[in-house]
Every structure is written in C-alpha cells, then in structure tokens.
Chains A and B, each alone.
Chain A
C-alpha cells in the first residue's frame, strides 16, 4: 500500500510540471510582447525594460520556466497587474471559499444521489426507478448557469426562502451548493443504482435473504457497505468537477471564489492572476483525484497495488 502511494505520488510530478508549463505558456501564447501585456499599453520603453528585468523576460524561455517553477514551489505566484497584490494572497482569500462551496455541493449531492440511487435500485423498473433515471438524465443535461438563474427566481425572488447571493451564513451557500451539485447528484444516483443492483445480485445477499433477514437490513447492513466503494470514487471525481462548475455558479450568484477571480482576471488581462488560479485549481484537482484512487485501493482489498 505504501509503495503504491509513493509510486502514485512520484507519477504526479510530471503531471504537475506539465500543468505549470501550461500555466507558464499562457503568457507566451498571448499575441504580443509579454512585457507590454504586463505593463499596459501606454508603458514607456524604460518601464518595459524594467518589467523585462523584473520578470526575467529577457532570459531564454527554459530559464524563465525554471524560475517560474521554483517560485511557484516557494508559493510565489507573481503580482497581480490590477490590484498590485501578490497573486498568492488573492488566491488565499478566494480559494477557500470555492473549496467550501464545492464541498457543500458534494455533501448535498451525495445525500440526494445515494438516496435516489438506493430507492431506484430497490424498486427496479418501478415508476420510482424510471423517475430517478429520467431525473438524473435531466440533471446532467441542465446548464448549471440556467439552473442557477431559475433557482434565484423561484426560491429567492418569488418564495423568499433563501438569499440569492452574498456570503456569510450557511443559508447563503445552500442555493449555490444545490445548483452546483445538481449534475453530481445525477451522476451519483446513477452510480449508486448500478452499484446496488450489482451487489444485490451477489450470493451473500441471497444467503442473507434466505436466512430471513429483513429487506431493510439486507439493503442497509449487507449491501450498502460494499456498494459504497465505487460510489466513493465518484464522490472524489465529482468534487473535482465541482471546482470547474464553481466558475459558473459563482458568476450566477455573485460569489467571491476563485472562479470569479479567474474570469475577472481574463477580462482585465491580469495574466499573473489567471496563471496562478489555473495552477492552484489544477493542482488541487489532481491531488483530490489521487486521494480518491488511494481511498479506493484502501477500501477495496481486491484492487492490486501495482
């Protein structure tokens, strides 16, 4: 197990270097002189020379990339063009919010999805099952930003149940989390259903039924535990995807997360912010996926560690 974890950590290195390369290359891919982009259109030749010196833009690209990597590892992601604050500081302010939102979304969708999946699997081919299947199909087909607008209209404007934006209490985050988690709920419900059906076919479940264990106990005590293993993996994957969905959710609900930060950064051509946000989000995503894989290997002893 330890060897497996170490090996996976080792394999992570090229991916993380690659992710940094993509984020580093961003500034190079923008048409025009990087110094001019960083300094602004009206910059004088002296300012440009100073910027080139400061950011090391007159050095060869591989050297620049090595420096970028070294700084990133040290937590130095450059200075925002717009706010003149260190990008790392901005991310420290914004990223925890997005993590909280994505986490809450996965809690909400795990609850909804697992319940719907169990109900569908234990009532196979009933109208409940068909409703759950159709519901999950609609769930993965809904554009998250539209669902968000509708949710604001119904729950905030018409019913006044929940606030439409802002932060502070859990109630502020509930609607965004529900919206962000809608697609995840659908995926989790589908996986739970499939996994439950698979487990309910097993011999030991038949044995339990044969010796007279009640249906409820068979499902929750005997089957669910084993059915949960593949579902756990989906939790991890969906948490990662929710980081992506957060960009749209934060825009709809005007929330101060990293998604808004990157979109505002793109509008303002504040490339250090965009680069930093990309790097941090991708690194988190990769780490979450790694943890998911390790958890899967840990919970399912049948998985070989090689």
Chain B
C-alpha cells in the first residue's frame, strides 16, 4: 500500500496523497451536514461574519457619535436596541463591535495556530531535548489559570487592540502545541512516513506533505473551539478595562461602560453580552459538531 501512495505522490505533486482515505473528507462533509450542532453553529457564524463585514452598510447610525439629548433611551422604532449614556445607537455599536471581535479572533487564533503548530511539530517530530524544552515551556504557560497569563502579558505590554491580540494568542499557543505534538507522535510511526523516508524525502517534506495534512482534522476542531475561547478572553480583558479601550465599540468595553447604568438602562448591557454569548455558542456548537464528524475514534 505505501508504494502506491508514494507513486501517486510523485505523479501528482500538487495533491497531498496521504489523506486518510479518498473518502475521508467527503464522508466527513456528509456527517457535518447531518450534524445539527455543526449546522446551527455554522449558521450563527455565517450571520456573525456577514454582519461584521456589512456593518458600515447596515448600521443606521455612526457607532462613535451620539446626541446627548437621546441618551439612555430604551429600545424603540428609531433606535431598535436603544441608546447608551452618550446617546450613541447601541445597534450600530454592536454591529461595528462585531468587526473588532472578528478581527481579534482571526488575528489571535491565526497567530496561535502558526506558533503552536510550529512548536508542536518541532516537539513531536524531532523529539529529544527540543521536545523536553518546548513541553516544559508549555507546562509553565499552562500553570497560569485562565485569564492570568493574558493579564501578565497585558501588565508587561500595556492595553490596546494589538496587545489584546498578542495576549490572547499567547494564551492559546500551548493548546495548539499540545494537539499538534500529540498528532505528530502518532503519525511519525506510521508506515507511510517510513516509506517516504526510505525514498529519501527530507524532514521538511515529510512534515509538510505527509504529517500536517493528516493532522488537519484535530487542528480544525481546535481552531474552531479556540475562536470561542479567544472571544471570551479578549472581551473579558476589555471588560476589566485592560483590553480595547473606549470609545471603541468592542463588546467587552461596551459592557464595562454599561455597568454604571445597569439599573436605569439595562438594555445597554444586554445586547453586547448577548452578542458575545451567541458568537461563542456558535463556535462551540460548530467545534463540537466538527469533532464528532472528524474524529475517527467515533467512526463506527
């Protein structure tokens, strides 16, 4: 079997030849479409991304400018979700906030994905002292519970959008490193890797062409679930006043402002919180659905 796989590798260099089986991804796609969790989660995310991209066209008002005479109005026909303490339209702010959330999520998870995968590959594939060193570092990073690692980074770097992205990304690096390392440890013992090595393929080729494509399923699941985690971390930092700063309509920062008006105008705090919850729920649902669809252990 390995020989035929490698034959196709030499004849079709563009396609990765060692995917689990020709039908793995089409099987998975069928299971994803059938999974209620994946479909409902995916729908929420599509709506969220669409709203974020179209915010400038959809928002009825400017997110940063309000009229003080309109301050703290309840939901009504002119302002669907009411106005905040400066008379700014809550709906418009939440819509523009979606752009900031999406930006943080993509940048932070992307950064963590690249760094974590690189560390995981080095640790899992090369092993030895590099494995010991990387995994010790991962242990140390994971010794800080929850948001504490992000707080430490913010304490050193300061607040603001860029630093929130860096802090949330570093917070996630250990998770990706562990998943990729685990995958490498299993895959590098496989026959097709041995066969590739026997044919004289270099380490970089083996990793890029054989190991990483076969690790895609767990990486995709991690990426999806971490899109949820990162939003909770980043909006939590902003809520504490240590993340994205007002007047930016970041959802956590909006909630932080709305605290002072909780009793007189609870709607100002309700909408951004609901937005965070729905987006997090969407990514969690999709992640769970993808895990069930892609995890071979659950295949019967």
Q: Which of A29, A244, A251 contacts B239 (CB 8 A)?
A: A251
Q: How far is the CA of A282 from the CA of B277 in the complex (A)?
A: 28
Q: Is A88 an interface residue (CB 8 A)?
A: no
A-B pairs with beta carbons under 8 Å apart, 26 shown: A14-B136, A15-B143, A22-B144, A29-B157, A137-B284, A138-B281, A141-B228, A141-B281, A141-B284, A143-B280, A144-B236, A145-B236, A149-B259, A157-B263, A240-B145, A243-B148, A244-B144, A245-B146, A247-B146, A247-B148, A247-B151, A248-B147, A248-B240, A266-B155, A282-B145, A285-B145
The 8 tightest CB contacts between A and B, nearest first, are: A244-B146, A146-B273, A18-B140, A244-B145, A29-B156, A141-B281, A141-B280, A285-B145
Bitwise, B102-145 to A at CB < 8 A (1) or not (0) is 00000000000000000000000000000000001101100111
B242's nearest neighbour on chain A, judged by CB, is A266
Q: Is A286 an interface residue (CB 8 A)?
A: yes
Q: Is the interface of A mostly helix, strand, loop or mixed?
A: helix
Q: Which of A143, A262, A267 contacts B277 (CB 8 A)?
A: A143
A153 touches B263 (CB 8 A): yes
Q: How far is the CA of A35 from the CA of B241 in the complex (A)?
A: 26
Q: Is B244 an interface residue (CB 8 A)?
A: no
A263's nearest neighbour on chain B, judged by CB, is B240
Contacts A141-B281, A248-B236 given; does A278 touch B152 at CB 8 Å: yes
Q: In the assembled complex, how far is the CB of residue A95 from the closest CB belonging to chain B, in whole angstroms? A: 13
Q: In the assembled complex, how far is the CB of residue A300 from the closest CB belonging to chain B, in whole angstroms? A: 21
Interface residues, chain B, CB within 8 Å of chain A?
A: 136-137, 139-140, 143-148, 151-152, 154-157, 228, 232, 235-236, 239-242, 252, 255, 258-259, 262-263, 266, 269-270, 272-273, 276-277, 280-281, 284-285, 288
Q: In the assembled complex, how far is the CB of residue B144 from the closest CB belonging to chain A, in whole angstroms? A: 5
Count the A residues whose beta carbon is within 8 Å of the partner chain — how many? Answer: 46
Q: Is A1 an interface residue (CB 8 A)?
A: no
Bitwise, A236-257 to B at CB < 8 A (1) or not (0) is 0000110111011001100000
B152 touches A149 (CB 8 A): no
Q: How far is the CA of A23 from the CA of B235 in the complex (A)?
A: 24
- For chain A residues 202-255, which have a beta carbon within 8 Å of chain B? 240-241, 243-245, 247-248, 251-252
A281 touches B236 (CB 8 A): no
Q: Is A150 an interface residue (CB 8 A)?
A: yes
B136 touches A15 (CB 8 A): yes
Q: Which of A152, A274, A282 contacts B155 (CB 8 A)?
A: A274
A146 touches B269 (CB 8 A): yes
Q: Is the interface of B mostly helix, strand, loop or mixed?
A: helix
Q: How far is the CA of A18 from the CA of B140 in the complex (A)?
A: 6
* Chain A residues positioned under 8 Å from B263 (CB to CB): 153, 157
Interface residues, chain A, CB within 8 Å of chain B?
A: 14-15, 18-19, 21-23, 26, 29-30, 137-138, 140-146, 149-150, 152-153, 157, 240-241, 243-245, 247-248, 251-252, 262-263, 265-267, 271, 274, 278, 281-283, 285-286
* Chain B residues positioned under 8 Å from A144 (CB to CB): 232, 236
B255 touches A145 (CB 8 A): yes
A153 touches B262 (CB 8 A): yes
Q: How far is the CA of A282 from the CA of B259 in the complex (A)?
A: 30
A285 touches B255 (CB 8 A): no
Q: In the assembled complex, how far is the CB of residue A249 from the closest CB belonging to chain B, in whole angstroms? A: 11
Q: In the assembled complex, how far is the CB of residue A65 from the closest CB belonging to chain B, in whole angstroms? A: 14
A282 touches B144 (CB 8 A): yes
Q: How far is the CA of A286 from the CA of B139 in the complex (A)?
A: 10
* Chain B residues positioned under 8 Å from A137 (CB to CB): 281, 284-285, 288
* Chain A residues positioned under 8 Å from B147 (CB to CB): 244-245, 247-248
B235's nearest neighbour on chain A, judged by CB, is A143
Q: In the assembled complex, how far is the CB of residue B100 from the closest CB belonging to chain A, in whole angstroms? A: 15
B151 touches A138 (CB 8 A): no
Q: Which of B228, B235, B277 contacts A138 (CB 8 A)?
A: B277
Q: How far is the CA of A265 from the CA of B148 in the complex (A)?
A: 13
B145 touches A266 (CB 8 A): no
Q: How far is the CA of A248 from the CA of B146 in the complex (A)?
A: 11
* Chain B residues positioned under 8 Å from A282 (CB to CB): 143-145, 148
* Chain B residues positioned under 8 Å from A141 (CB to CB): 228, 277, 280-281, 284
Q: In the assembled complex, how far is the CB of residue B25 from the closest CB belonging to chain A, in whole angstroms? A: 26
Q: How far is the CA of A29 from the CA of B155 in the complex (A)?
A: 9
* Chain A residues positioned under 8 Å from B276 (CB to CB): 143, 146
Q: How far is the CA of A274 from the CA of B242 in the complex (A)?
A: 14
Q: How far is the CA of A271 from the CA of B255 in the complex (A)?
A: 27
Q: How far is the CA of A51 from the CA of B72 in the complex (A)?
A: 49
